[in-house]
Amino acid sequence: LWGLLTRSRKSNVPVMGTNFLFGYVMAFKMFTQYRETLLEGYRKFNKHAFQIPGLKGWEVFVSRELYDDLRKSRDDTLSMMEEVNDLVALEYTIGPVTINPWHNAAVRKQLTQNLGNKFPEVYDEISTAFEDELQLPANGDWKPVHAHDLIIHIVCRASQRMFVGLPLCRDPEYTRISRDFSGTVITGGFLINLFPTFLKPLVGRYISAAPKAIRGVEKYLVPMIEERWAQERELGDAWNEKKPADLMQWIMDLAPEGEHDAKDITARILGVNFASTHTTTLSFTHVLYWLAARPEFLPVLREEVEAAVAEHGWTKAGLNAMLRVDSYIKECLRVSSIGATAMGRKAMRDVTLSDGTFVPKGAKVMLNLYGVHHDPELFPRPDEFDPWRYSRRVEAGESEAGNALATASSDFLFWGGGTHVCAGRYFAAQEMKTMLAVIVTEYDVKFEGLEPGVRPKDTWFAFSCVPDMKVRVLFRRRQT
């Protein structure tokens, strides 16, 4: 009843599906028919906006023509955080740091600027982690692996090397909590959102598993942060020469006067952990599945990686020279994006977009990523996996930056856009390129029990696309 009373008003754009039973029938149908409905709406309304009743109110889906409207919008008009909280109630799990996330600037600026300096460490962590986690037999036999499990270990170690450095990035208990953290927060958030607002703080504190996970991480990070502050006080300016270069330090350096609180800094690191682990892991699992399913592209990737490494070594310059690796991953993520929408925003007041689309207060607006990424005018034969789609464009004279994996644009909506565009996209692209380059140089891969050319079916649940978790990927040390 409360849901019904607080539902937003309708937009002025056409409705997809039925409004039967206040839209709840359609809202439930979307759990299983999301991407099909988005694609149908994209074609039916010729790329113009349409709306679908959601569980909490009307949801307006727009196309890339309105990318700039969303990109330029401000949080007091179209809010990203309100939309995220409606989904996963971060304010009650990760806590108050999500209200003023000034630490995101450290990801956007210092972390991104240090990608070159830190590359040897990230490469070391990724290549060592593959060896440690795979434990391949010495006789060259194939070993079956659950890919998502493997990749989350690698991603977590690589990102923790960047966030807190050695030796903590390899600590079994610390990395276990970090790996599980996104899942803990998402499950907790869904649970909290089942309750009315006045009960949410209690559910967040006493029923969700997030506080325990946060305490588990505080045990490691709080003493480290306090020790660094103690050294800073003791050494004065000399500390600048000595201090570690990692995300923890960059966040500490940005902490405003009066916010020198080790638990607060820990929560901020966990906020970045939440944004980075699950997203990179799921995305790269899709990439690995394409690699295992389509062996015909492997020799081209190998040749490019070997040439780049021969010329530049394992460096950021080497990685930058891997145009096809970049294109390959971007195409994997175009066809197998982890979500069907982008830039979800909740209207904080009535808004009219530049094409006249009206988004009433309380309604959601988002980009129809699935429709755009499968638009034949942008991507000829959109259902075909064509890994050199982007590198061919560069070879034909188009800009390299415009076609790069890490570039957010109105035809590659994967990173969102505007003020909230993924702050870690350059790091995420670097991690994924390094993982792919390491795999193709060191290992052979294929699916267990599947013919070449067959990729296991993804599972779609509402807007999210999860790779098959049961199938196993076979790894062996490279033979050719």
- Provide, rounded to whole angstroms, the least separation between the CB of residue 425 and ligand HEM: 6
- By CB under 6 A, residue 107 contacts ligand HEM: yes
Report 109-128 residues binding ligand HEM (CB under 6 A). Answer: none
| Contacting residue, 104, 127, 336, 403, with ligand HEM by CB under 6 A | 104
CA dihedral 156, 158, 161, 164 (to 10 degrees): -30
Q: Min. distance of Cβ 152 from ligand HEM in angstroms?
A: 13
Q: Output 182 or 280, the one with its CB closest to ligand HEM.
A: 280
Extract the tokens encoding 400: 């390299």
Look at residues 327, 408, 419, 334 and name the one whose alpha carbon lies nearest to residue 378: 334
Q: Kindly identify the residues of this chain, within the stretch 22-51, that bind ligand HEM according to CB under 6 A.
A: none
Q: How many residues bind ligand HEM (CB under 6 A)?
A: 23
The answer to the question of residue 370 lying near ligand HEM (CB under 6 A) is: no
Scan residues 399-458 and list those touching ligand HEM (CB under 6 A).
414-418, 420-424, 427-428
Give the binding range for ligand HEM (CB under 6 A) out of 28-36, 268-276, 320-328, 469-477.
268-276
**Is 389 near ligand HEM (CB under 6 A)?**
no
Distance CA 320, CA 318 (A): 5
Give yes or no for a contact between 351 and 77, defined as CB atoms under 8 angstroms apart. yes
Residues 322-361 that bind ligand HEM (CB under 6 A): 342-343
- Contact between 58 and ligand HEM by CB under 6 A: the answer reads no
Length of the chain: 480
Nearest distance in Å: CB 479, ligand HEM: 30
Among the listed residues 279, 341, 357, 403, the single contact to ligand HEM using CB under 6 A:
279
Closest CA to 52 of 341, 415, 413, 338: 341
Closest by CA to 219, choosing from 174, 273, 176, is: 174
Helix (H) or strand (E) holding 394: helix 389-395
CB 61 within 8 A of CB 41: yes
- What CA–CA distance (Å, rounded) separates 457 from 97? 38
| Residue 191 vs 351, nearer CB to ligand HEM | 351
Exposure class string for 131-143: b at 16+ Cβ within 10 A, else e: eeebebeeeeebb
Q: Taking the complex as a whole, how short is the minimal distance between the CB of residue 160 and ligand HEM, in angstroms?
A: 11
Judged by the rule CB under 6 A, the positions of this chain that interact with ligand HEM are 80, 104, 107, 272, 275-276, 279-280, 283, 342-343, 414-418, 420-424, 427-428
